Amino acid sequence: MESASHVSPAPVTRAILVLGSTAMRRREPREARRRFARRMIGGLATLAALALGWPRLRRWLPDADLLPPGSEQFIDVGPLQGFMAGQPTAVHLTLPDAPARARPVVFVLGSPEGAWRVFSSVCPHRACVVEYRAEEAGFRCGCHDSRFDAAGRRQSGPAPRDLDPLPHRVEAGRLLVQWKRYRPGTPESVEG
Ligand code: FES
């Protein structure tokens, strides 16, 4: 009796096998083209998403290079009437020796008693920039979700301390602020 391995396929079966393998060979380049096109579309979609989202993303990223070192100079940020009680106002500081793009943001908060709180917008966790959210009456850091109240006091999240207070004084009805850069990640404010 002939073993199964020696049985050659009948002519019709052979023809079917030959046609099948030819069709497979023809399909392969088409499949490869489809795979390539899918990858191209995926790659382009990723690039487009990154290009569109980058400006927003960039805002949150730690940007120690863009933070100028502390200065002894007091910078005039405007008349006191420009700052509301209970509502922090963001101010860009223009430092004399820093490049134009390095303009740190500070927040000024007035109070009905006439005291002023001035603090840095740099998150003390890893130096991302916090954003004030009026609907939450507080600040939120988009990097790791640290939260602070409207006066910059830490409420929750990984930030190890409050938003750093900045030295300031009032002269002839105008507010003057000193820029200080503090190290992130420490429980106390340490310049550096
Ligand atoms: S940098 Fe702000 S929570 Fe991490």
For each of the chain's 192 residues, which pLDDT tens digit applies?
A: 444 444 455 665 666 666 566 655 666 677 888 888 888 877 777 676 666 665 555 555 545 556 888 889 999 999 998 888 888 999 999 888 777 667 899 999 987 777 889 999 999 999 999 999 999 999 999 999 999 999 999 999 999 999 999 999 999 999 999 999 999 999 999 998
Is there a domain that residue 44 lies in? yes
Is there a domain that residue 192 lies in? no
* For the chain, the helix, strand and coil percentages under 3-state DSSP, each to the nearest 5: 30, 25, 40
Closest-CA residue to 118 (of 189, 73, 178, 160): 178
User: Which tokens go with 64?
Assistant: 């120690």
Angle at 159 between CA 153 and CA 162, to 5 degrees: 25
The reply to whether 29 and 113 lie within a common domain is no
Domains in the chain: how many in total? 2
For ligand 1, mutation pick of 57, 139, 146, 186 (most atoms within 8 Å of CB): 146
Strands 138-141, 147-149: pairing kind:
antiparallel
Round to whole Å and give the CA distance between 150 and 79.
Answer: 21
Measure 141 CA to ligand 1 centroid, in angstroms: 6
Measure 85 CA to ligand 1 centroid, in angstroms: 27
Half-sphere exposure of 52 (CA within 13 A, CB side): 6
Q: What pLDDT does residue 6 have?
A: 47
Nearest CA to ligand 1 atom 4: 144
Residue 144 CA, closest ligand 1 atom number:
3
Q: What pLDDT does residue 138 have?
A: 96
The reply to whether 125 and 168 lie within a common domain is yes
Residue 128 CA, closest ligand 1 atom number:
1
Is there a domain that residue 170 lies in? yes
Domain with 105 in it = 64-178
The reply to whether 42 and 84 lie within a common domain is no
The reply to whether 46 and 119 lie within a common domain is no
The model's pTM: 0.68
The reply to whether 31 and 83 lie within a common domain is no
Q: What pLDDT does residue 86 have?
A: 84
Q: What pLDDT does residue 7 have?
A: 47
Report DSSP letters for 165-186, one per residue: B--EEEETTEEEEE---B-TT-
User: Which tokens go with 8?
Assistant: 């050659």
Q: What pLDDT does residue 172 have?
A: 95
Is there a domain that residue 98 lies in? yes
Contact 32, 25 (CB under 8 A): no
Query: CB within 6 Å of ligand 1 — which residues?
Result: 123, 125-126, 128, 141, 143-144, 146, 157-159
Is 77 exposed, middle or buried (CB count within 10 Å of its CB: 0-12, 13-18, 19+)?
Answer: buried
Taking the C-alpha atoms of 54, 63, 188 and 87 in order, what is their torsion angle to the nearest 10 degrees?
A: -60
Q: What pLDDT does residue 47 have?
A: 72
